[in-house]
Amino acid sequence: MARRLGQSISKTAALVGCSQSAVVSIYQKCSKERAVVNQRQGHGRPRLIDACGERKLARVVQSNRRATVAQFAQEVNAGSDRKVSKYTVHHSLLRMGLHKHR
Residue numbers of the domain that contains 86: 51-96
The pTM (predicted TM-score) of the whole model is 0.55
Give pLDDT tens digits for 78-97.
877 888 999 999 999 999 98
Same domain, 32 and 11: yes
pLDDT band at 34 (very low <50, low <70, confident <90, very high): low
pLDDT for 87 equals 93
Same domain, 55 and 26: no
At residue 35, does pLDDT exceed 60?
no
Same domain, 36 and 58: no
pLDDT for 70 equals 92
SS (H, E, C) the chain: CCCCCCCCHHHHHHHHCCCHHHHHHHHHHHHHHCCCCCCCCCCCCCCCCCHHHHHHHHHHHHHCCCCCHHHHHHHHHHCCCCCCCHHHHHHHHHHHCCCCCC
Number of structural domains found in the chain: 2
